[in-house]
Structure 1
């Protein structure tokens, strides 16, 4: 299929659930181009690919497509036939029956798009609003930035959703959807804590010292018996200061993740520690530049902050077997020395004004 984009636009085709390799041809005969491509709900696939006038290049990436349907349970068995989506999700590009791309940038140049089903490993993301595919600018989360760091031989399936906890992820049948979708050889990144710690949410509260750990152990067991590799991720901190140091609000939960990982022999990516290093490197005056709503939001990130946290996650994955799927041109990353927010500018999506994500 062929369609040219010389200005921002949307490409969308019908697609059944699965993984698809998308190959794009970039470049125009008489103008230099710089093209950014996001898939589904703003998952970053290609970032500012520059092509001189008169040249063309091809780039490929893998997009995961899903719907909310579940295999109906047997008669009299508990379960359901679909994920219990929130109202805000019902029009989401993540849950429809199409594969959608945003072609972005001041001077994009896409002359051809090829889409084909592909069988590759899948990296599943399970978490809350700090991981989810935030639907609109200026909000962003690390999960939707992660795909740009991978080669086109693995898919990233971001099942994280705002407001979720380990308990609610199960009761809403999101965990069932992931378990139904995985296959042996896949990987699952698990990051919860922001909402699990809320004792004012009694139906989903899980104490760091007891039930939170128990749920993590159960999830690890469910993935392992399916041949899926679980990886735990500690939650990024909120931007709360005590002088020029971050005041921890998730320390007990980060410690619980580390303890369960050590006990179960599961890798842990310490995004909590990386986020603290990142914020403190920027300092109290500049750290708001990494956050949503012009820095008024102290929990959720903008494109810059989400990209830096995703890069920290990729750095953690580099030492693990799944790291073989990372792009070969990535240089070592140190959150104590983040890129300058004035220099790291990502092309904005056409959807805007998600200034206050619902839940964490």
Structure 2
């Protein structure tokens, strides 16, 4: 019976893969071919879309064009979610248009950054597009599922929906159009808490910042990393199998592990033997699917010596990955080397801004100081993502052609100031440190 129900799910999902979803936000006339979205429409499973719990946005109607003449705005973040099949999608939005200026930042699923701060003048609008990956815990073509950790059961990126977070000083949206993208290459990310889409403030990782640097429609970032994972655990939980079930020729697999793999226990691997063997296993699996592996050396932890130089707590693991890449002719992004330069450029005190260092009371329910030297603040995660982008530019990978043209070069020796970084806080906060160290 279970296999029969799973078959029905797969067949129904396949039938829907070509479907587009068009939503006209506001209480005015509804554009042809669009579904109307009113502020009062909380998510309903029967309907298949709606707003999540939180402060309700308001409708604004200016008249005129049915699609752009009405909209929904708010003075606080709001979440809109849609039931969609697993896969890649291009999302087009029309922002702004109210009688007052608007400012909108867009994230999806677990705070995955898609559209940076977008300002519109009163009555003016902007069109934006981004590409997003939606995944299911069910592994396509099998009766297996990814073995999720208990905390993951509440994560947006494991439900059967696409959840869009409209944030900023005055988020304002007139329409949303979601269309399947079956042709663009997918970049799958395999890693731990330094890569994962962290679900809650104030934690962040470079993988959730990565999508915003790529041209929409040309490539899709699929971050399958999870906190606390190792090469062995990632495979054992069927996360690698899930990635491979979706991989097509020309897709990429970025591999970044070391922080947890070096620790004693059942997942421990030795740098120049079992660590390299496991990486080669991942590489071979990706290549068997026609995928392109990319190795990313793990960034340093924040630990300085008395002279303000970074202490290498990752021992020989980064060097083992470098040597493997050289021996096997695999593309390498040396994030480990760039992070050393970056941290030392910040120095002992300024580098705290890049990590989760916050005094007690900064966030709701935070009774103790945060002093985490492994996990990043949103500012730090963004700078690490810029390092990865810069490392990508130095490779021969075709993927670098899909980077946005207006991205300036990044020099880890001269990082931008924390005071110039903009990140409107998401409503979801956790005082629990992510797995891994």
After superposition, the Cα gap between the structure-2 partners of 1:25 and 1:72, relative to the gap in structure 1 and judged at 3 Å, is closer
Q: Which residue of 2 aligns with 1:23?
A: 92
For residues 419 and 285 of structure 2, the distance between their equivalents in structure 1, rounded to whole angstroms, comes to: 43
For residues 337 and 116 of structure 2, the distance between their equivalents in structure 1, rounded to whole angstroms, comes to: 27
Does the residue aligned with 1:323 lie in a helix, a strand or coil?
helix
Contact 1:139 1:355 in 2 (8 A): no
More deviation in 215-224 or 159-168?
Answer: 215-224
Aligned partner of 2:132 among 40, 63, 68: 63
Deviation digits for residues 109-134 of structure 1, max 9, x if unmatched? 21111111112211100000000011
Aligned partner of 1:129 among 179, 193, 205: 193
- 1:137-152 → structure 2 map (5 Å cutoff): 137-152=201-216
Q: Which residue of 2 aligns with 1:35?
A: 104
For residues 255 and 317 of structure 2, the distance between their equivalents in structure 1, rounded to whole angstroms, comes to: 13
Q: Which residue of 1 aligns with 2:393?
A: 318
Offset, 1:71: 4.3
Offset, 1:323: 0.7
Q: Which residue of 2 aligns with 1:76?
A: none
For residues 183 and 293 of structure 1, the distance between their equivalents in structure 2, rounded to whole angstroms, comes to: 41
Deviation digits for residues 126-151 of structure 1, max 9, x if unmatched? 00000001110000000001011111
Aligned partner of 1:187 among 220, 238, 252: 252
Contact 1:124 1:188 in 2 (8 A): yes
Contact 1:138 1:293 in 2 (8 A): no
Q: Which residue of 1 aligns with 2:417?
A: 340
Q: Which residue of 2 aligns with 1:359?
A: 436
Larger RCO: 1 or 2 (CA < 8 Å, sep 6+): 1
For residues 354 and 68 of structure 1, the distance between their equivalents in structure 2, rounded to whole angstroms, comes to: 26
Contact 2:338 2:387 in 1 (8 A): yes
Whichever of the two has the greater Rg, that structure is: 2
Aligned partner of 1:163 among 223, 228, 236: 228
What stretches of structure 2 of length at least 5 have no aligned partner? 1-22, 26-71, 359-369
For residues 159 and 215 of structure 2, the distance between their equivalents in structure 1, rounded to whole angstroms, comes to: 25
Contact 2:187 2:251 in 1 (8 A): yes
Contact 1:135 1:354 in 2 (8 A): no
TM superposition score normalised by structure 1: 0.95
Offset, 1:355: 4.7
Offset, 1:56: 1.0
Offset, 1:293: 4.2
For residues 46 and 107 of structure 1, the distance between their equivalents in structure 2, rounded to whole angstroms, comes to: 14
Deviation digits for residues 24-63 of structure 1, max 9, x if unmatched? 1112242222110000111000111112222211010011
- 1:233-312 → structure 2 map (5 Å cutoff): 233-243=296-306, 244-294=308-358, 296-312=371-387
For residues 339 and 223 of structure 1, the distance between their equivalents in structure 2, rounded to whole angstroms, comes to: 36
For residues 71 and 355 of structure 1, the distance between their equivalents in structure 2, rounded to whole angstroms, comes to: 33
Contact 1:188 1:228 in 2 (8 A): yes
Offset, 1:72: 6.1
- 1:222-241 → structure 2 map (5 Å cutoff): 222-241=285-304
Contact 2:98 2:172 in 1 (8 A): no
For residues 345 and 70 of structure 1, the distance between their equivalents in structure 2, rounded to whole angstroms, comes to: 37
Deviation digits for residues 260-311 of structure 1, max 9, x if unmatched? 1101111111111111111111100111100114260000001000000001
For residues 132 and 339 of structure 1, the distance between their equivalents in structure 2, rounded to whole angstroms, comes to: 23
- 1:26-105 → structure 2 map (5 Å cutoff): 26-71=95-140, 81-105=144-168
Offset, 1:234: 0.5
Contact 2:276 2:320 in 1 (8 A): yes
Superposition RMSD on alpha carbons, in Å? 1.3
